[in-house]
A and B are shown apart, each in its own frame.
Chain A
């Protein structure tokens, strides 16, 4: 077994070179390079965490904005409804007023027209009386040869017409 048979002759060289090369490994690779590699990993982890928190913050902001938009939208809708209701009420009132005035005009016209009709009817009745009285006088004169005065004829006609 060379490990034992060569021990006395080689242990010093083995230990010496091991210390040199393991020392190189430790100081150059272990202390020099490994921390940088781990820094890179830590940096990446930090970047990922930052990105995640930024995304979370952005999501929250978007939610808030959406909420604000919703509130504004609701307000606007309520305002619009109010405006519509107001306009409707106004329009209804106006229509009513117009209808009322128009009705009044109609009523007045109707009244005058009725008055005129009544007047015309009276006149026509009077004329009929006169004509009837005259006709009666002439009929009586022709048939009986009597002369009936105007008043008697009218009274007789009025009696017949009534």
Chain B
């Protein structure tokens, strides 16, 4: 579990604003690294050539991917959310992938800040807040009709309203917890398997052959799976945010 431990860095333990500690931690460092790598990635695709190079093509395919997703989920009104959804998707994607890098080999400790629900929770709350703001700004109190699906029999309306309201209010939690749990589970699984490899190796050659080697082979497969999960969870987060935004933009 050491990989999830937050440690203040550069002697910033005592930094505080208004009594709240804002130490620059390893978590903050990896957020900074994610932003820098993401900036470098997008900046490399800003040559604005008419005939794009490979890098520009790669960046444009990411923006095009987000644009298409919003267009498919929300329609043309969805284009104005491209900056937000792109930032969200790429920030989570880069955080997930950078956190998977095998930097332990050279003595560094990668930190996956998306495996902390304080982080995923804040991102989920931002998305949820945008949904609420857009919904109420666009539809006013009519936004509450979201909780009464079409064709609901009149006597059922109070019950359905409560059920729909609860499912709506659960969204930020499911959004934040899904990412946190997926990232954390993958890292814990890799850690457990690697402890099998090392522990069995220390115990005896026979046990190593019996448990260590299969665990290692399994780890290789799970590493590949984790790279997939890193992409899928970023996609799911962005997709669900755009689906929720569609509710706010178009109601039902």
Q: Give chain A's interface residues, CB within 8 Å of chain B.
A: 1-3, 6-7, 9-22, 24-26, 28-31, 33-41, 43-44, 47
Contact = CB atoms under 8 A, between A and B. Distances in A.
B64 interface: yes
B60 A37 contact: yes
10 contacts: A13-B21, A13-B22, A18-B113, A18-B123, A21-B28, A24-B35, A25-B34, A30-B87, A34-B86, A43-B50
B166 interface: no
B17 A16 contact: yes
Nearest to A10: B6
Contacts, number: 138
Given A12-B21, A17-B22, A18-B119, A37 B45 contact: yes
A7 B29 CA distance: 18
Contacts of B24: 13, 17
Nearest to B51: A44
A37 B6 contact: no
B213 interface: no
Given A3-B115, A24-B35, A26-B83, A38 B67 contact: yes
* Interface of A, helix, strand, loop or mixed by DSSP: helix
Contact of A12 (B22, B50, B84, B90): B22
Centre residue among B8, B21, B123 by max chain A CB count within 10 A: B21
B174 interface: no
B128 to A, nearest CB: 15
Nearest to B48: A40
Contacts of A16: 17, 20, 22
B9 to A, nearest CB: 11
Interface string B1-29: 10011101000000101001111110110
State the main secondary structure of chain B at its contact with A.
helix
A19 B50 CA distance: 36
Given A26-B83, A37-B45, A2 B22 contact: no
A13 to B, nearest CB: 5
Given A29-B39, A34-B86, A21 B6 contact: no
Among A10, A25, A26, A38, the one with the most B-chain Cβ atoms within 10 Å of its Cβ is A25
B236 interface: no
B40 to A, nearest CB: 10
Contact of A34 (B50, B63, B180): B63
B251 interface: no
Interface in B51-66: 52, 56, 59-60, 63-64
A12 B84 CA distance: 23
B35 A25 contact: yes
Contact of B118 (A7, A43, A47): A7
B188 to A, nearest CB: 10
